[in-house]
């Protein structure tokens, strides 16, 4: 098995990936909070870890990939107080919170399908794991790292600091954090402003509520990932991923919860994808400067010069390394569309190349460079640059300027299929969706040509066209006002 | 609002539908147990209630449609003993039960999308509602209609019969049922063989398990629908649907559970779709004579003469009334394909009809007959037969044998769009999927024609073709070995 290195946020360096239970890999990634249309930021996180999922499988690992749906507990401003994001949206749209969750889960799935993001092995919902979350709170309480106050349960940072260290992932220090935190309204029931909610008491008007040993309420946002990660991947597992905006406090709190409950950390490799920016500022729902995927695919947004195909968006994301920021601009997306087209073109040209027995082309170094890039902390831009070099060679081969034999062509096809197709998840051609209009125009032209043939009594030609089309499932009907066609 | 009648299994007659909270309608339908590929039986139930969902919305109701996913508790042979269907499958495929549930939920969603079945408003999972199920058991226990034995909780039929009547839906009598039931192995912990499990103790090797007041275990199958129905639709709601095979014992037990817990029945209208049969025998997973939807769509099954398009399958199902059995045969599906094609053809012809100011066609009676059929307990075959009559008239109109003015044509278009499209959920044309091959052939012929034009130095024609294709997104590239094309 080829060696894979990944950057571990925990150690702040690249490490060789060694799974706990070869050949199995357990991987958890924070999924969406389903209260709005998915945007470019969602796409970046999903695509980054989709490529990791695909790469691991391609290297021969058996991966259990868990990506959750947050449908409860994520409060506005990512805070411990305020309205639940989904409930607030439900009020706005006059729907039951679970209708909102359903609607935006559907939207998310639709967009992921467009982007060719594979479904995870398990997609647990936070609201479906209240029992597991309550059990985890009970363990943290039993270990002494949490306290109950007026129907709420809070994680006790000061107590935790006596035995462990809060801040291992983010490198932040509790004393610094405390110096920078002011007491907020509504946080009176906390001993310390840094403490975070494990369980929140539901106010009378709060719809999403469950019974618990502390009264009716709902779980804190950080809790679900700890509970569901351990449920489906065990108390120790390989990889936890998510966007860099989740590093602190979300993932820091996850670590504290697991250490408090189990005495040891759960996750071995923490991975974070960087943000999508717009004019240098993070793109996000809370900032209001985001562009939804739907808008990108249709071009319906004032900042967009045109529509961008899902594969263009995927390619745009993969052209940057996942740990770099990615700045949105029309120019960058248009360049991505051109770049992708060139690779797809080369990929298709391979099917039609005439082999030359006088091979002058050595494919192996390219193969190695591709895989080395992918296995070097998912360096997708380098892998793509190698494929661009190959595209140039393939184009030269079509002009006879480079000689490739059948074996070389086959290996190149396999490399494009595997790296560009299977691992990077790009499709070989434009999607079917655009076929319809093209077919209309092609058929219109073809029927004109057939009408001309008939006009000059060349019935052999007109019949040949009709029969060939019929065999391909297109039925031509001759009528008073000319011929019409339909798919049969 | 047009009056809608539906057959209520509870009263065994057609009743005028009057919702509890006009204009809102609450509707619950039993969804799939996600442990295998969806088959024709799943399609029939989903399509039947999809049409009801679409019709209600079209009539102006605001519908909350809940369709569940059974991912725990449904034991083999639909019994109280034996292995959990999903866990058994997980063992077979060496996966965690939730990976099985995820895999087959995905498959189900994929097939529903193909069949143009709309997603429900809420799609709750049984495993995600353990707390609600435990709470319901506690209410039934508190009311005295259940008992605990060795970590199991059973519904007490004899005790229930003292105050209520078990069998209101199926018309079965407890004394008859008891006479026909023999004590089964492993049922020793029940007082009476008719009693059914509300909570089952988990054996040590059972993976899907949750803590409860009665020890670790899992909920009985009948419980989830009662708990989730009431959670999302209230203690009294309008419609509960499902396949006729679920009428007894599943729905009968649901009624008993709700009456036991709340003192009154929950559901006002019970609706059941009849079975798909094959040579007169019920088609089902447990009988091993089923054909999966995937097999139908690809034609890959020894009993299939050919592949059938999803819309053909949908049409085939709608050609029978939902309360009649529907016998599968290649002949019937082939006839459905022809029938659908004729309607789709007429639907498309409407776009090209030349209006004749001397209108001789009265559309209103047809409109009324269509809607009356749909509102008469979803009589889809009658509605379709009216559309067939119209197809005949439209075909005559293209030959000038029937005169329709612009207003009539517009009304016909609206009728086809609404009834055939919006309510029956049939698509106007064959799906995009088949466009690809057709486009290949059309382009091949067109490029031949263009090559001929070039050969005779008719560059005006060859350029015109190239430019028209380019405008439609098809790029033609001239090379040494002739022209190639790609979507741009």
Asked if the Cβ–Cβ distance from B436 to A432 is below 8 Å, we say yes
Residue A154 vs residue A83, higher pLDDT:
A154
Chain A / chain B CB contacts < 8 angstroms: 146
Q: A286: number of CA atoms within 13 Å, CB side? A: 10
Nearest to A255 by CA among A169, A373, A158, A350: A169
With cut-offs at 50, 70 and 90, classify the pLDDT of residue B433: very low
For tokens 């390619």, name the residue.
A315
Domains for chain B: give ranges and CATH numbers.
Answer: 17-273 (3.40.50.620), 278-423 (1.20.120.640), 435-487 (no CATH)
- Please check whether residue A486 is in contact with residue A448, taking contact to mean a CB–CB distance below 8 angstroms: no
Smallest Cα distance from A411 to chain B, Å: 24
Residues of A in contact with B438 (CB under 8 A): 439, 469, 472-474, 487
Q: Per residue in A32-67, pLDDT tens?
A: 999 999 999 999 999 999 999 999 999 999 999 999
Task: Return the minimum-mean-pLDDT range out of A185-189, A483-487, B67-71.
Answer: A185-189
Which H or E element spans position A62? strand A62-67
Which H or E element spans position A423? none
Beta bridge partners of B14: B7
- Which of B:350-409 have CB within 8 Å of A? 352, 398
- Please check whether residue B4 is in contact with residue B55, taking contact to mean a CB–CB distance below 8 angstroms: yes
pLDDT for res B316: 98
Beta bridge partners of A200: A218
Task: Return the minimum-mean-pLDDT range out of A166-180, A474-488, B34-48, B229-243.
Answer: A474-488
What pTM does this model have? 0.85
Residues of B in contact with A96 (CB under 8 A): 64, 121-122, 232
Pick the residue of A350, A438, A461 with the most B CBs within 10 A to test the interface with B by mutation. Answer: A438
How many beta carbons lie within 10 A of that of residue A9, not counting itself? 23
Pick the residue of B110, B439, B464, B485 with the most A CBs within 10 A to test the interface with A by mutation. Answer: B439
For tokens 């949490």, name the residue.
A146
Q: Per residue in B6-24, pLDDT tens?
A: 999 999 999 999 999 999 9
- Please check whether residue B356 is in contact with residue B404, taking contact to mean a CB–CB distance below 8 angstroms: yes
With cut-offs at 50, 70 and 90, classify the pLDDT of residue B204: confident
Averaged over B24-47, what is the pLDDT?
96
- Please check whether residue B85 is in contact with residue B26, taking contact to mean a CB–CB distance below 8 angstroms: no
pLDDT for res A432: 41
Average pLDDT over all residues of chain A? 91
Q: Does pLDDT of B431 surpass 60? A: no
Q: Per residue in A92-143, pLDDT tens?
A: 667 789 999 999 999 999 999 999 999 999 999 999 999 999 999 999 999 9
- What is the Cα–Cα distance from A127 to A142, expressed in whole angstroms? 24
- What is the Cα–Cα distance from B110 to A123, expressed in whole angstroms? 16
* CB < 8 Å & 24+ apart, contacts of A453-457: none
pLDDT for res B432: 42
With cut-offs at 50, 70 and 90, classify the pLDDT of residue A433: very low
Averaged over A195-206, what is the pLDDT?
92
Examine residue A249 and say whether the peptide bond preceding it is cis (omega within 30 degrees of 0): yes
With cut-offs at 50, 70 and 90, classify the pLDDT of residue A488: low
Smallest Cα distance from B52 to chain A, Å: 19
Asked if the Cβ–Cβ distance from A128 to B123 is below 8 Å, we say no
Averaged over A437-453, what is the pLDDT?
82
Give the tokens for residue B272: 């059941």
Average pLDDT over all residues of chain B? 91
Smallest Cα distance from A350 to chain B, Å: 14
- Which of B:111-170 have CB within 8 Å of A? 119-125, 127-131, 135
CB of A211 less than 8 A from some CB of B:
yes
Asked if the Cβ–Cβ distance from A441 to B123 is below 8 Å, we say no
Which H or E element spans position B308? none
- Who among A125, A135, A488 is closest to B128 (CB)? A125
Q: What's the CA dihedral at A465, A468, A474, A477 to 10 degrees?
A: 40
Averaged over A256-275, what is the pLDDT?
97
Which H or E element spans position A347? helix A330-352
Strand B281-282 with B276-278, pairing: antiparallel
Residues 6+ away with beta carbon under 8 Å from A143: A260, A261, A263
Counting residues of chain A whose pLDDT is more than 90, the rounded percentage is 69
Averaged over B272-286, what is the pLDDT?
88
With cut-offs at 50, 70 and 90, classify the pLDDT of residue A69: very high
Q: Per residue in A284-343, pLDDT tens?
A: 777 778 899 999 988 888 899 888 989 999 999 999 999 999 999 999 999 999 999 999
- What is the Cα–Cα distance from A273 to A7, expressed in whole angstroms? 11
Q: Per residue in A292-305, pLDDT tens?
A: 999 998 888 889 98
Give the tokens for residue A117: 């993001």
């Amino acid at each position: 098995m080829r060696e894979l290195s990944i950057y571990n946020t925990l150690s702040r360096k690249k490490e060789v990936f060694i799974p706990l239970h070869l050949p199995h890999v357990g991987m958890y990634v924070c999924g969406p909070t389903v209260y709005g249309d998915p945007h470019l930021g969602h796409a970046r996180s999903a695509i980054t870890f989709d490529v990791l999922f695909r790469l691991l499988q391609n290297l021969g690992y058996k991966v259990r990939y868990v990506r959750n749906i947050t449908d409860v507990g994520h409060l506005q401003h990512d805070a411990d107080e305020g309205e639940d994001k989904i409930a607030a949206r439900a009020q706005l749209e006059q729907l039951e919170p679970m209708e909102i969750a359903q609607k935006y889960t559907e939207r998310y799935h639709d967009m992921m399908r467009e982007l060719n993001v594979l479904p995870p092995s398990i997609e647990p919902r936070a609201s479906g794991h209240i029992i597991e979350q309550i059990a985890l709170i009970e363990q943290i309480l039993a270990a002494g790292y949490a306290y109950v106050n007026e129907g709420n349960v809070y994680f006790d940072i000061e107590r935790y600091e006596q035995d462990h260290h809060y801040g291992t992932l983010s490198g932040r220090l509790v004393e610094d954090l405390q110096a920078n935190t002011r007491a907020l309204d509504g946080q009176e029931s906390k001993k310390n402003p840094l403490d975070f909610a494990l369980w929140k008491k539901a106010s009378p008007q709060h719809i999403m509520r469950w019974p618990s040993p502390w009264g009716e309420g709902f779980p804190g946002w950080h809790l679900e990932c700890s509970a569901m990660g351990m449920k489906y991947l065990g108390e120790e597992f390989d990889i936890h991923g998510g966007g860099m905006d989740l590093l602190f406090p979300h993932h820091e709190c996850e670590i504290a919860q697991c250490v408090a409950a189990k005495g040891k950390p759960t996750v071995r490799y923490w991975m974070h994808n960087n943000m999508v920016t717009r004019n240098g500022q993070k793109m996000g729902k809370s900032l209001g400067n985001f562009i939804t995927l739907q808008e990108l695919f249709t071009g319906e947004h004032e900042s967009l010069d045109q529509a961008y195909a899902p594969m263009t968006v995927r390619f745009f994301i993969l052209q940057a390394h996942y740990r770099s920021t990615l700045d949105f601009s029309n120019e960058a997306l248009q360049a991505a569309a051109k770049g992708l087209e060139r690779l797809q073109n080369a990929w298709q040209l391979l099917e039609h190349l005439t082999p030359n027995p006088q091979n002058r082309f050595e494919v192996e170094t390219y193969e190695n460079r591709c895989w080395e890039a992918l296995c070097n902390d998912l360096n997708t831009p380098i892998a793509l640059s190698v494929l661009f070099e190959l595209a140039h060679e393939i184009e030269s081969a079509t002009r006879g300027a480079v000689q490739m034999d059948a074996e070389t062509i086959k290996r190149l096809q396999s490399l494009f299929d595997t790296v560009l197709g299977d691992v990077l998840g790009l499709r070989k051609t434009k999607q079917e969706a655009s076929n319809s209009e093209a077919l209309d125009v092609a058929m219109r032209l073809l029927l004109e040509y057939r009408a001309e043939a008939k006009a000059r009594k060349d019935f052999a030609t007109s019949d040949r066209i009709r029969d060939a089309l019929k065999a391909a499932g297109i039925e031509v009907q001759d009528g008073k006002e000319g011929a019409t066609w339909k798919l049969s």
